[in-house]
Structure 1
Amino acid sequence: MFGKTRIPPLTPAVDKLIRRQYVDDGRGHLIWFWYTRTGVIVKWSLFLGITSLLAFYLIFGRMHAKKRVRAGLKPAAWNGWLLSRQERAGVDPRYAWPQAQYSNYQQPGANYGPPGAYGMHAMPPPVYDPNNRPPMYDGANGAPMGGTKVDPVQTGVEPARGEYAPPPGPPPAR
């Protein structure tokens, strides 16, 4: 049966040690102490006692820490972790969120920025020419002379695309 065992005879020293943990039930069976009524009461008492101490520490430690913060003092070392970062920031500047710092972007170059950084252009690149002229190939590396680098769709003139060409005329009104 569960909890009841017969212990074979052992050496006298080991027999004494093992028999200390067992109780005779009066019928010749030995029951392990923790399965007796007294053992179960002791187990639950220990469990509830430790749980109660932990709950007491958590509840009253937090109350004590909040009381210290309301008084303008830093929380004690043993209960400071029970407060949130926002609660601790009121008395300890190490826990305050850093302020956002805004500044203008500084261009890297000769007067400022790291050496060897990318220099910014005085004028925008050619593709952003204010006269809206598309950049042209210069004939180098086999490119056609005067060929444009811009997709024809960007110029407003759409080429026919074979059988998939758009229908003539403006799009229908909605």
Structure 2
Amino acid sequence: MFAFVPSSAQVVRRQYVEQDGRVIWFWYTRTGVIVKWSIFLGISVLLALYLILGRIHAKRRVRAGLKPLAYHSWLLSRQEKAAVDPRYAWPNATYNAYHSHQAPPPGYGYGSYGMHPMPPPVYDPNNRPPVYEGAGPKVDPTQAAGVEPATGPAAPQR
């Protein structure tokens, strides 16, 4: 009813082979080395075939006007995929945050910078230097506007 189950010592003993009067591990024999290299080269050939044939198949699908399949789309460049799938096309160079017939979103436009108004554009036909409008420069290192700096024994050393 039950098949004979070998003990771990018997399994380990099977991995050793006597060669030239010595007991060596099977994977170090001539046959074991051939088996190891055959497995390695077999896996390498299968991987190379997958990459080469997958790319050929994907390019053939793109040439036919079909989208590449998920398992080989990563073998194509973005430009090749963009020929059949608009998701991969590069965005237009001119982009509007909103359409001209819609109202701009709240906080959009001039003065929404948060700290100071936006500076004037770099090109000015009057050749004036760019100047920020708004609050003047703060001289106090504590940056507290309108507050006198602390003096006396409690004043921090600067």
Bin the TM-score by the shorter chain: 0.5 to 0.7
Q: Deviations over 1:6-63 (max 9, x none)?
A: xxxxxx9343121111001252x21100000110010000000000000000001000
Structure 1 stretches lacking a partner, 5+ long:
1-11, 104-110, 125-129, 131-174
Equivalent residue number for residue 79 of structure 1: 72
Where in structure 1 do 4 or more consecutive aligned residues deviate above 6 Å?
none
Equivalent residue number for residue 21 of structure 1: 15
Question: What is the TM-score of this pair, normalised by structure 2?
Answer: 0.57
CA distance in 1 between counterparts of 2:40 and 2:20 reads 29
User: How far 1:114 sits from its partner (Å)?
Assistant: 2.5
CA distance in 1 between counterparts of 2:50 and 2:28 reads 31
Equivalent residue number for residue 42 of structure 1: 35
For the pair shown, which has the larger CA radius of gyration, 1 or 2?
1
Equivalent residue number for residue 170 of structure 1: none
Structure 2 stretches lacking a partner, 5+ long:
1-5, 97-103, 121-125, 127-158
CA distance in 2 between counterparts of 1:112 and 1:35 reads 73
CA distance in 2 between counterparts of 1:116 and 1:98 reads 23
Higher helix proportion (structure 1 or 2)? 1
CA distance in 1 between counterparts of 2:108 and 2:36 reads 72
Question: What is the TM-score of this pair, normalised by structure 1?
Answer: 0.52
Identity %: 63
Indicate which of 31, 51, 63 corresponds to 2:56. Answer: 63
CA distance in 1 between counterparts of 2:66 and 2:40 reads 35
Residue 56 of structure 2: SS of its match in structure 1?
Answer: helix
* Aligned CA distance change for structure 1 residues 114 and 40 (closer, same or farther; 3 Å): same
CA distance in 2 between counterparts of 1:116 and 1:78 reads 45
Q: How does 1:5-154 map to 2 (within 5 A)?
A: 13-27=7-21, 29-101=22-94, 114=107, 118=111
CA distance in 2 between counterparts of 1:112 and 1:79 reads 41
CA distance in 1 between counterparts of 2:57 and 2:109 reads 57
CA distance in 2 between counterparts of 1:81 and 1:115 reads 39
Number of residue pairs the alignment of both structures matches = 104
